Amino acid sequence: MKKFALFAAMSLMATTAQAQEVQLSQADATAIDFSAEAPFEGKDKAGKDRTGVTLRPSASTLGLGGEVGYRLNDRFGLRAPFGSGEASFDGDYDGYDVTGDANIGGLGILVDFFPGKGAFHVSGGAFKTDYSLTGVARDVNVNGYTTDVMLDVYQKRDIAPVIAFGWDFQIGKHGSLSADLGAVFGSGFNVNASESSGLAPQSEVDAEMKEFRDAAADLKVLPYFKFGLGFKF
């Protein structure tokens, strides 16, 4: 009887110990599960925290400017690019020697989607742009008159949708390198043309510049390029 009682006590102690181990294991597993289900903290698979605010000076088809961005989580971010610039040009179009000044610039908002939770993103949004050109087409033959034609080229609509893709690389803890390639879907350009001598009727000036005007009206898709290097906070 004493042996049976001792065996029973030892068995009970072993069972109790095993139960405690099972409870401990379950508690550990539960803790791990809770940890795994914790909200995303902005870290990618390599453990790099990509969330936060970025400030980047940039060069783009908007001109020299910058970009303010905010990476919300592993999938989404917001950016606001801006810039401006101007350049002189001297070229040939349809046999005319055209000189003048071109202005570029604008600002916009982009929503970024990161399909791989890393640097690569696809983006969509809208830009308010300020693209214009003022120039002179020299020695234009307008119904027998050789004259200079003044050109004023401006956008039909200055707000346009944008689609792009690119990369936002994090360099160290606070460095940021960004590049984008995309398109701005505008509505073409209007052209005002007037000749300098005052001898040719406006209707004949318009007829002579029709090809130039049609080409400007058909210029509805503009490229968007951007390269930026800045800081992440």
**pLDDT digit string (tens) for 170-218?**
888 889 999 999 999 999 999 999 887 777 888 888 888 888 889 999 9
Residue 226 in this model has a pLDDT that exceeds 60: yes
CA atoms within 13 A on the CB side of 221: 4
Sign, CA dihedral 208-211-214-219, equals negative
Would you say 178 and 59 are in contact if contact means Cβ atoms under 8 Å apart?
no
Would you say 147 and 200 are in contact if contact means Cβ atoms under 8 Å apart?
yes
Would you say 225 and 63 are in contact if contact means Cβ atoms under 8 Å apart?
no
Average pLDDT, the chain: 81
pLDDT of residue 12: 32
Q: Which fold has domain 52-232?
A: Porin (2.40.160)
Q: Distance between CA atoms of 155 and 190, rounded to whole angstroms?
A: 6
Q: List the chain domain ranges.
A: 1-38, 52-232
Q: Is 113 left (phi over 0), alpha (psi -120 to 50) or beta?
A: beta
Dump pLDDT digits (tens) for 24-78. 344 443 443 333 333 334 455 555 677 889 999 999 999 999 999 999 998 999 9
Let me know if 80 is exposed, middle or buried by CB neighbors in 10 A (0-12, 13-18, 19+). Answer: middle
Strand partners of residue 9: none
pLDDT of residue 124: 97
